Amino acid sequence: MHTCKVPQLDARLAAAYAFVRAGRVAADIGCDHGKLSAALAGSGRCPLVLACDLRPGPLEKARVTCAPYGDKVQFRLGSGLAVLAPGEAEDIIIAGMGAETIIEILEAAPWVFDARYNLVLVPATKHSILRRWLARRGFALRGETLCQAAGRWYAVMNAQYTGDAREPDGLYCLTGLTQGQPGCADYYAVQNAKLRKYRLGLPDGAERDAVGELIAEMDRLAAG
Of 90, 32, 25, residue with least CA distance to 58:
32
pLDDT at 96: 87
C-alpha 130/C-alpha 151 separation (Å) is 21
Q: Are strands 118-123 and 91-97 parallel, antiparallel or unpaired?
A: parallel
Q: Using CA atoms in the order 121, 126, 132, 135, what is the torsion angle rounded to 10 degrees?
A: 0
The pLDDT confidence band at residue 187, using thresholds 50, 70 and 90, is very high
* DSSP character at residue 73: E
Report phi then psi at 152, rounded to 5: -120, 150
Average per-residue pLDDT in the chain?
94
- 142 and 158 Cβ atoms separated by less than 8 Å: yes
User: Does the structure show a pLDDT above 60 at 2?
Assistant: no
pLDDT at 1: 35
- 93 and 16 Cβ atoms separated by less than 8 Å: yes
At 41-60, the pLDDT tens digits run: 999 999 999 999 999 999 99
At 17-26, the pLDDT tens digits run: 999 999 999 9
At 130-157, the pLDDT tens digits run: 999 999 999 999 999 999 998 899 999 9
User: Does the structure show a pLDDT above 80 at 76?
Assistant: yes
Average of pLDDT values for 196-207?
91
At 89-108, the pLDDT tens digits run: 999 999 989 999 999 999 99
pLDDT at 5: 67
Reduced to 3 states (helix: H, G, I; strand: E, B; else coil), residue 159 is strand
C-alpha 150/C-alpha 185 separation (Å) is 18
What's the whole-model pTM score? 0.93
User: Does the structure show a pLDDT above 90 at 86?
Assistant: yes
pLDDT at 133: 98
